[in-house]
Amino acid sequence: MNTLLNALNNIERDWLQSPQSLTKRLREFTHNKITHHLFYDGWGTADNLALAALSIDRTIKTWIRRMEWRYENEIWVPCSVIIPETSITDNTRELKNIKNQSIGDILFQDKKLMRTDFTFYKNSENNWTRHSIFYFKQQPLLIIENFLPPFFEKLCA
């Protein structure tokens, strides 16, 4: 187990380490009251973390989605999805056209979906980030999820 996660209780650790669909788990936990807010969906420049994680050069264009999961108007989990242009093929083009839908709704339909182990970061007290690379139809994309204190407060209430 990642020793960084020792600071978490079992419930928190379970949420951070779960390879299941975060979309599905959040909906189940909130009885479908969680809301998905997309605020950017277009071409952009990946940051250094994303470039390193995806092993791509800065010259590779990336499709970026930035969104947040909110519950009762509180931001719980801001997320970023970084898709290298080279991962957008005829077979995966749908990733650019999902609009306000959660990308998890698309990814977890792929029976051959693979994902790397998580990398975890503790940003501050009870503010955690994880990222992993998904291979959707064999094409890599990076998902970064930042779990904020209001999420953990509700989770452990």
The domain of 127 spans 3-155
pLDDT at 1 over 60: no
Phi, psi of 132 (to 5 degrees): -155, 160
| CATH value at residue 45 | 3.40.1410.10
Which pLDDT belongs to residue 2?
Answer: 64
Contact 128, 120 (CB under 8 A): yes
Question: What Å distances lie between residue 72 and 16, 33, 78, 151, 157, CA to CA?
Answer: 21, 8, 15, 11, 15
pLDDT in tens, 19-52: 999 999 999 999 999 999 999 999 999 999 999 9
> Considering the entire predicted model, what is its pTM?
0.93
Long-range CB pairs of 49-53 (<8 Å, 24+ gap) are 49/131, 49/144, 50/80, 50/82, 50/142, 50/144, 53/119, 53/131, 53/133, 53/142
pLDDT in tens, 120-153: 998 777 789 999 999 999 999 999 999 999 999 9
Q: Where are the beta strands (DSSP E) in 1-117?
A: 35-44, 62-71, 74-84, 114-115
Number of folded domains in the chain? 1
- The residue count of the chain comes to 157
Adjacent-strand bridge partners of 140: 135
